[in-house]
A and B are shown apart, each in its own frame.
Chain A
Amino acid sequence: MSVPFGLRAGILSIVILGLFLVTWHLLVVAQQGDAAEGLDPAYAALLGKQATEGASALPKPLEVGAALWEHIRDPFYDAGPNDKGIGIQLAYSLFRVLTGFGLAALVAIPVGFLIGMSELASRAFNPFIQLLKPVSPLAWMPLALYTIKDSSLSAIFVIFICSIWPMLINTAFGVAGVRREWLNVARTLEVSRLRTAFAVILPAAAPTILTGMRISIGIAWLVIVAAEMLVGGTGIGYFVWNEWNNLSITGVISAIVFIGVVGMLLDLALARAARLVAYTE
């Protein structure tokens, strides 16, 4: 076979996409019903195309494509609180995710180090981690709203809470799993505890820590949509809910595509970082 493997995979991807879009188009066309006749023009205007033309509320792929292009063409317009460009909304969400995630890393990595290095700390922290880890981060929302009294900060807090567990657990696991012989090398060289932590334990555990960070940012990006639906105001989650209230399925589908793309880029960035610290034994 002379076609390179990567190209073959790419062609197959495009074929799958094409099949999906064609099926989507056909299903929407097939849903087309009968138009109601003899309606008062003013009433017809209120009902929209679904009643007057029998059109499906679900847009065709080309309509979504056009809407996506509209969003990309002018992502940063601001026409009032309920009409901002998708770029602005994504920027709000990204800011919250990165702030919450960054704060979580600042707490989770040092605490994870402590838990990984000390059997006592590990035993002492374990019940709390086990109890709090399975709690949906959104369950913290009312508590955050009541204590912080600021919806945007509450969203950041929810991101913080959901990002902390995978990073904490992976850091502790990575630190506890550092090979004894590497620590023995440091000991026989009379390396100080601090230098051992930074020069031996951190690089040895870095791949595991990065895996935890990658899981965390994925979860954070999942949660931000739901959190912003609740707190409202700004952000991609609010945008989705606003489009639903406007009954604009096109807007909702556009938002889904953008959420997917940004989530993919976040994961890609951390995958790159993981490659930088990876090593083979």
Chain B
Amino acid sequence: MAEPATAPARKAIRVEGLKKCFPTPDGKGTTEVFGDVWFDVAEGEFVCLIGHSGCGKTTLLNILAGLDKPTEGHVIVADKEIDGPSLDRAVVFQGHALMPWMSALANIAFAVKSRWPSWDKAKIRAHCQKYIDMVHLTGSEDKRPSMLSGGMKQRVGIARAFSIEPKILLMDEPFSALDALTRGALQDELVSICRQTNQTSFMITHDIDEAILLADRIVLMTNGPEARVCEIVKNTLPKSRTRQNMHTDPNYYPMRNHLIEFLVNRSKTFRAEVTASTYDPRHPPVVEPAAKGRAA
């Protein structure tokens, strides 16, 4: 597939015309959860998708992970249509999904051994240790998940996902079950790890500040059923933003207000907007909210 010459970076993921239907409770017909979903993620880019619960966010992520199949459309990764899960796409699950009978280290080792089956024990151990240190869990290697706090569990989940050195990292509201302080600390760590490794990431969230901090672009999804991609918001804050200083940036409030306005009002009234405008689902409008006189 030839990309236009102006393309800034190769596409890591291309989502083309995705649609998912579930059977209705009476079993006679089907309900469309979302449809006509088109967007892409460039290599090294961090994309967030926000939307209310019920718009099929988790289903969409499961399709990207290869755990679920779309009713229509396809997902293209590395110029190939995906057909099931792959070690190239690591997933951080909403509820950490650690195996409770294994220690933190063993949980990560399970992934590492799956990735490199020929490695010996010492090599696996050293590799795991690197990622345990990365998420600051040194000293808790041998603890079982039941002995770890919620934040520590999710750190193990993140270490497990990074340990297989995936091309793409998929995250399904990874911090939604954590308290605000723990969430902030983990967001900071995720930012620094992703920027160091230039990790291509796709994350689902309903936390606006999380999206502004982490994402290069934010995909806005309207309410389900029949959810659509409303528009794609380009983050106008500088890449050096941190959780401590980002609210002082003049573009912060325009960004935030735009996203809140979407979640509170436009996610419901989008259908009326579509009929009135020249909405093209293949190229959802791209907006760059910025302070007056200060373009991104």
Contact = CB atoms under 8 A, between A and B. Distances in A.
B93 A181 contact: yes
14 contacts: A181-B93, A182-B99, A185-B91, A187-B66, A187-B85, A188-B65, A188-B90, A188-B91, A189-B115, A190-B85, A279-B100, A280-B100, A280-B146, A281-B146
B99 A188 contact: no
Contacts of A191: 114
Interface of B: 65-67, 84-87, 89-91, 93, 95, 97, 99-102, 110-111, 114-115, 144-146, 164
B86 A190 contact: yes
Nearest to A187: B85
A204 interface: yes
Contacts of A190: 85-87, 114
Given A184-B67, A189-B115, A203 B101 contact: yes
Nearest to B84: A187
A189 B101 contact: no
A279 B95 CA distance: 17
A181 B96 CA distance: 9
Contacts of A179: 97
Nearest to B97: A181
Interface SS majority for chain B:
loop
Interface string A162-186: 0000000000000000010110110
A231 B184 CA distance: 72
B267 to A, nearest CB: 28
Nearest to B115: A189
Contacts of A280: 100, 144, 146
Nearest to A179: B97
A61 to B, nearest CB: 48
Interface residues on A, range: 10 to 19
A277 interface: yes
Given A182-B99, A279-B101, 8 more contacts: A184-B65, A185-B93, A188-B85, A188-B91, A199-B110, A279-B100, A279-B144, A280-B100
A185 B146 CA distance: 18
A111 interface: no
A200 interface: yes
B100 A281 contact: yes
A184 B99 contact: no
Interface string A185-215: 1011111000000011001101000000000
A179 B91 CA distance: 16
A199 B85 CA distance: 18
Contacts of B66: 187-188
Nearest to A191: B114
A123 B77 CA distance: 39
B92 to A, nearest CB: 10
Contacts of A187: 66-67, 84-85
